[in-house]
């Protein structure tokens, strides 16, 4: 079970300063999760961690800063860099985002051993090509191994479209081998519904390592999904040497996909489907190296940051478009009771009287719903009783 988050700033500081309690042969992997805003990066991070510490909302730019999540499993530590959605200066200005939101994803990449590129396959406008910002990011760091993660596959009614999407996003090449879509995939509703979601790209069948823990799983995934790599000569990108050249950042104008992904995963992060398959893969990718954190650490965020983010998530959820981006949060009270319960009082400052009315809602319904839901999330993060009170004032 993942450890709870510390309830006080002092306790969290002590945990972060604690020397890592690492085993004799520790392994570590730093993972940057990048993607367009609202692709599900925070949802996936929370599922991998096993506890909700990153804010999640249908509105874009819920994640405002770079934060780390820590998974300690046996002798391995995975460090997840949950980054803001990759955006451009024009959109940043529209959502009143600060400068850090444009630079943080790039900073995360500099420190990553592996990058997960998350794509929302339920969005038919964007699912067949990687965003320009994601492509720029990948072409800037071509030496960092990357993995394609197709998210929200549960929402996609026509499962056979996954093959087409995977081909577009990889330019038909995964791990230096050509992807082939077998025509044998029956496109009736029953077979497409049973299409395995973890269509992890395996190496060609003849090079299977016997006894490899993922071997069997990958084999099944390959057969069922109809994704295959041709190992015959003459196919484009059949060997690393003749593989496509890396795109320079300025070349991404007419490019849809990235031909250097090592694997493809298909999952539904919100429901937790196939997240364990991805987690096992990540644990296997870890390299020998010292841990960065004590095993009791789940995140490097302070308890107050987690609280602010979760309340802001609910405000974003229940208020119309631009209103939430103007809300300022001020924590008035943060006290621990005798039985370990947590008392939190926070003021939400809004610029206009009309915003105040919206946030309170008729008969105080909206604000009490926000407090109730945020309080429940905080209980799950801190693993203690939380009494959360919110008041709304005009700045």
* Closest to 311 in 3D by CA, of 364, 394, 388: 388
Segments forming the whole domain that contains residue 386: 303-394
CB 109 within 8 A of CB 32: yes
Q: Are residues 67 and 146 in the same domain?
A: yes
Q: Are residues 373 and 284 in the same domain?
A: no
Q: Are residues 318 and 174 in the same domain?
A: no
CB 158 within 8 A of CB 125: no
Per-residue model confidence (pLDDT) at position 317: 87
- Within a domain: 96: yes
- Within a domain: 78: yes
- Give the separation between CA 392 and CA 385, rounded to whole angstroms: 23
- Within a domain: 199: no
Q: Are residues 30 and 82 in the same domain?
A: yes
**pLDDT tens digits, 39-82:** 888 899 999 999 999 888 776 554 445 678 999 999 999 999 86
Per-residue model confidence (pLDDT) at position 107: 67
- Going by the DSSP 8-state scheme, the letter that residue 205 receives in this structure is G
- Of the residues 263, 288, 313, which one is the last residue of a structural domain? 288
- Within a domain: 269: yes
Q: Terminal CA-to-CA distance of the chain, rounded, Å?
A: 42
Q: Are residues 284 and 389 in the same domain?
A: no
CB 39 within 8 A of CB 134: no
Per-residue model confidence (pLDDT) at position 39: 85
CB 120 within 8 A of CB 151: yes
Q: Are residues 22 and 125 in the same domain?
A: yes
The whole-model pTM stands at: 0.78
Q: Are residues 177 and 325 in the same domain?
A: no
**Non-local CB neighbours of 95 within 8 Å, separated by 6+ positions:** 60, 61, 325
CB 202 within 8 A of CB 265: no
Q: Are residues 266 and 329 in the same domain?
A: no
- Within a domain: 154: yes
- Within a domain: 246: no
- Of the residues 264, 288, 312, which one is the last residue of a structural domain? 288
CB 121 within 8 A of CB 151: yes
Q: Which two three-digit tokens encode residue 315? A: 């405000």
**pLDDT tens digits, 165-212:** 999 999 999 999 988 655 433 443 333 333 443 344 433 333 333 333
- Within a domain: 220: no
- Give the separation between CA 203 and CA 231, rounded to whole angstroms: 9
**Non-local CB neighbours of 271 within 8 Å, separated by 6+ positions:** 154
Q: Are residues 259 and 147 in the same domain?
A: yes
For residue 248, the SS3 value is coil
In this structure, what CATH number is given to the domain that contains residue 373? 3.30.300.20
Per-residue model confidence (pLDDT) at position 392: 94
* Closest to 143 in 3D by CA, of 284, 260, 289: 260
In this structure, what CATH number is given to the domain that contains residue 152? 3.40.50.300
Identify the residue whose tokens are 């050249």: 245
- Of the residues 246, 263, 288, which one is the last residue of a structural domain? 288
Q: Are residues 318 and 275 in the same domain?
A: no
Q: Are residues 309 and 262 in the same domain?
A: no
- Within a domain: 188: no
Low-confidence spans in the chain with pLDDT less than 70: 59-66, 82-107, 180-253, 321-325
Per DSSP bridges, beta strands 146-151 and 76-82 are: unpaired
Task: Return left, alpha or beta for 361; rule: phi > 0 is left, psi -120 to 50 is alpha, else beta.
Answer: left
Q: What is the number of structural domains in the chain?
A: 2
CB 112 within 8 A of CB 30: yes
- Give the separation between CA 326 and CA 188, rounded to whole angstroms: 49
Q: Are residues 312 and 278 in the same domain?
A: no
CA 40 vs. chain centroid, Å, equals 6
């Amino acid at each position: 079970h993942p450890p709870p988050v510390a309830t006080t700033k002092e306790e969290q500081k002590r945990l972060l300063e604690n020397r890592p309690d690492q085993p004799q042969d520790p392994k570590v992997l730093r993972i940057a999760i990048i993607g367009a805003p609202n692709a599900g990066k925070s949802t996936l991070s929370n599922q991998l961690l096993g506890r909700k510490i990153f804010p999640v909302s249908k509105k874009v730019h819920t994640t405002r800063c770079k934060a780390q999540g820590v998974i300690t499993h046996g002798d391995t530590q995975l460090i997840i860099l949950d980054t803001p959605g990759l955006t451009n200066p024009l959109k940043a200005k529209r959502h009143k985002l600060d400068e850090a939101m444009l630079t943080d994803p790039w900073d995360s990449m500099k420190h990553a051993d592996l990058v997960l590129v998350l794509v929302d396959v339920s969005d038919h406008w964007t699912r067949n090509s990687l965003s320009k910002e994601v492509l720029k990011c990948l072409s800037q760091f071509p030496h960092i191994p990357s993995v394609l993660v197709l998210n929200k596959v549960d929402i996609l009614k026509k499962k056979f479209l996954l093959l087409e999407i995977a081909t577009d996003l990889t330019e038909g090449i995964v791990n230096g081998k050509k992807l082939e879509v077998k025509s044998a995939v029956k496109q009736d509703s029953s077979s497409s519904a049973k299409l395995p979601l973890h269509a992890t790209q395996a190496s060609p069948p003849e090079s299977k390592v016997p006894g490899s823990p993922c071997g069997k799983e990958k084999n099944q995934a390959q057969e069922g999904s109809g994704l295959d790599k041709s190992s015959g000569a003459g196919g484009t990108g059949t060997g690393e040497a003749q593989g496509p050249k890396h795109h320079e950042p300025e070349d991404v104008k007419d490019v849809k996909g990235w031909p250097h992904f090592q694997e493809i995963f298909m999952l539904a992060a919100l429901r937790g489907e196939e997240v364990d398959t991805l987690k096992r893969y990540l644990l296997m990718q870890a390299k020998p190296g010292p841990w960065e954190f004590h095993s009791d650490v789940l995140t490097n965020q302070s308890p107050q940051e987690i609280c602010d983010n979760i309340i802001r998530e609910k405000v974003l959820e229940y208020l119309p478009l631009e209103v939430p981006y103007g809300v300022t949060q001020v924590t008035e009270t943060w006290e621990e009771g005798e039985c370990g319960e947590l008392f939190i009082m926070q003021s939400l400052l809004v610029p206009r009287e009309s915003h105040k009315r919206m946030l309170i809602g008729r008969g105080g319904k909206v604000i009490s719903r926000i407090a109730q839901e945020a309080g429940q999330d905080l209980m799950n993060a801190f693993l203690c009783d939380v009494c959360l009170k919110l008041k709304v004032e005009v700045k």
